[in-house]
Amino acid sequence: MTRMIDSLWRKTERIATWNGFWVLLIYVIVFTVLFQFFGIGYPESTFDGHKYGVNPDDIARILRNFDAHQRLEQYLRQETALDLLYPAIYGLFFAVVIVRLRPKGWHWLVLVPYAAAFFDYCENLSFITLVLCYQSCHAVPPGLAVAASVFSHLKWAFLLLLIPALLLALARRFR
């Protein structure tokens, strides 16, 4: 495990320059704004818009509501365009921040943003599958709804862990 963490740290270190930081920050801001534009006209929050994760019981209702307002295709475009790039961007950005802080002896903190991005990808793929299933037969497979919910909650858990991870990295930098 230590070798894997050290390898991930070294690979992140290669892009953890000031230029890398600024470019990733600009991408994070641009994508955040793009999500706002995509969300204009949505009848309610998307699956991602439910802070701390979406519940399996809410998934069919959200899909029906988006379908009734003819926004399901737009949401699918968001998921297959923006949301397949965004986890890599914010995951790399926060990993670069942690590496730049150089927390002495706590290289494992770099795992937190990568874990958040990983579970975000799992969540996005399950949401895409849910939308495609709903479009084809207007049904939501219960097992897939539960899996999407689990991935959604895990993503949010790791995103929430980013705050203490960044604070720990900052504190360990000056020890």
The per-residue pLDDT for range 16-38, each reduced to its tens digit, is: 999 999 999 999 999 999 988 88
Model confidence at 91: pLDDT above 90: yes
What type of residue is 57?
Answer: D
Tell me: pLDDT of 57 over 80.
Answer: yes
- How many Cα atoms occupy the beta-carbon half-sphere of 37 within 13 Å? 8
Token pair of 6, please?
Answer: 């050290």
pLDDT of residue 109: 92
Is pTM beyond 0.85 here?
Answer: yes
Q: Residue 58 corresponds to which tokens in the numbers above? A: 């809410």
pLDDT for residue 40: 87
Q: Residue 159 burial by CB count (10 A; 0-12/13-18/19+): exposed, middle or buried? A: buried
